Amino acid sequence: MPGPEPSTAGSYGACPPELILSPFRAVRYTTRDQSALARLTSPAYDLIDPDGREALELTDPHNVVRLILPRADPRGDHDRYWQAAQTLAAWRANGVLAADPEPALYVYEMVDGSTSTRGLVGAVSLVDPATGIISPHEDTMSGPVADRLALTEATRANFEPIVLVYDGGGAASEVVHGRVSDPPLINMTGTDGVVHRIWPILDAAAITRVAADLRQHTAVIADGHHRYASYLLHQRRRHAEGSGPGPWDRGLAYLVATGAHGPQVQAIHRILHRLPLQQALTSAAEVMTVRPVSVSADGAEGLLAAQPRTAFLLTDGRSWHLLTDPDPNAVLRAVDGRRSRAWQALDVSVAHHLLIRTIWRVADDESGVSFGHDVRSALAGVRDGGTALLLRPTPAESVLAIARNGERMPRKSTLFVPKPRNGLLLRAYAEEL
């Protein structure tokens, strides 16, 4: 089931309906060995499978995965969220982590081969999505929201930033691009080869310019919908308890302008474990053109990219089939008629509403559909049976247009890359009380 849609910040008046990114005292690893940061940090939590989690734990006893994906107290007396809070407190007490001496905004650059993404990390003021200031573009699921909420409430910390995109072009963008000539505070290369560089902004005049510029903008959540929903629910609970204004009115965020240095969008593929391929193909042929193709895992995304309109690949890892030309009348019957034509035309909308829900009658929830963030992980998901549904990426412009129209794409519709490395900049409430 879709997760809760909190309506919180506006109702309590904690934050004005503006895009506000505040300086904060980042909690960071104290090691001066930049190469050690690769062993201490991790990918985004939702990209870590069980094997990856264990590998990160073995890489270093202080790897941040022990905070973002904690294990329960080994004595069995407490849950894993309590354990994360104890781990955070111990690492701070032992000097593994420490807060920067002054609040700052942070310019964060990621370089992946010939492309770079550059933006600002700060504490974003939480506002009701109904204001249009910070707009989601995907639906959420209740399970991941509850998980991230429990972690936030136990630790009183944000361990990984949500990613926001906006139009840019003003003073904030000038500040971001004006800092890259300075020696960086952090300069590390992740295990995936992505270079991460971070510069603090301490100058009060520059911070004021950024604030004045951002108030004229709105943003769209590119990554972190479940975390933002958990931010809002946590804020609502604190206000309901009478806590008043506080650090729960903000959340850790990475704000990036669209354009040459903005994030890129990749597809997230669907895995239907209980749907045999032949059954999927027979049913899909009722509403789409289905034909076998000769392709490998390495060529699958290229084949999809070459299709001019809605197209999917179905595979069990051995045989491959291209689906094209969905019946427009079938699409209209399957999708919500109140949706815009732009939303109805999205590949991911056709995938979920026409194929998964209507034709295949698969429960579109955490039990019926899982996800692969690349072709190989999708194929691994059907190694023991089932069907992988491979999609084309949604253009970034379409994502922004859908969000600003007040609509939501199906959950896990987009993968914005590259993603910030977890553990480089943490945010703790204790530094703001």
Residue 5 — very low, low, confident or very high, per pLDDT cuts 50/70/90?
Answer: very low
Contact of 158 with 220, CB cutoff 8 Å: no
Task: Quote the CA–CA distance of 4 and 140 in Å, as a whole number.
Answer: 8
Q: Which helix (H) or strand (E) holds 363?
A: none
Note the pLDDT of residue 337.
73
Q: What is the torsional sign of CA 204, 206, 207, 211?
A: positive
pLDDT category at 1 given cuts 50, 70, 90 is very low
Neighbours of 384 (CB within 10 A): 7
The CA distance from 109 to 346, in Å, is: 31
CA distances from 189 to 110, 169, 351, 385 (A): 9, 28, 37, 37
According to DSSP, the residues that pair with 134 across neighbouring strands are 219
The dihedral formed by the CA atoms of 44, 45, 47 and 52, expressed in degrees to the nearest 10? 110
Q: How many CB atoms lie within 10 A of CB 224?
A: 26
pLDDT digits (tens, 9 = 90+) for 222-261: 889 999 999 999 999 999 999 999 999 999 999 999 876 6
Q: Which segments of 260-402 are extended strands (E)?
A: 264-266, 269-272, 289-293, 311-315, 320-324, 370-372, 387-390
Q: Which residue has the tokens 């669209």?
A: 258
In this predicted structure, which of 46-50, 274-278, 323-327 has the lowest mean pLDDT?
A: 46-50
Given this model, what pLDDT does residue 179 score?
67
Is residue 81 within 8 A of residue 219, CB to CB? The reply is no
The answer for residues whose C-beta is within 8 angstroms of residue 300's C-beta and 6 or more apart is 313, 315, 320, 375, 390
Q: CB under 8 Å to 24, separation ≥6 — which residues?
A: 103, 104, 122, 123, 250, 252, 427, 431, 432
Rounded to 5 degrees, what angle do the CA atoms 158, 204, 34 make? 50
Nearest partner of 92 among 426, 366, 432, 373, judged by Cα: 426
Residue 138 has pLDDT above 60, yes or no: yes
Q: Is the pLDDT of residue 399 over 90?
A: no
Answer whether residue 31 shows pLDDT above 50.
yes
Q: Over 50: is that where the pLDDT of 6 sits? A: no
Q: What is the pLDDT of residue 11?
A: 39
Q: What is the mean pLDDT of residues 67-93?
A: 93
What mean pLDDT value characterizes the chain?
91
Q: Count CB neighbours of 7 within 10 A.
A: 13
Q: For 145-192, what is each residue's pLDDT tens digit?
A: 999 999 999 999 999 999 999 988 899 999 998 867 778 999 999 888
| Extended strands (E) in 258-372 | 264-266, 269-272, 289-293, 311-315, 320-324, 370-372
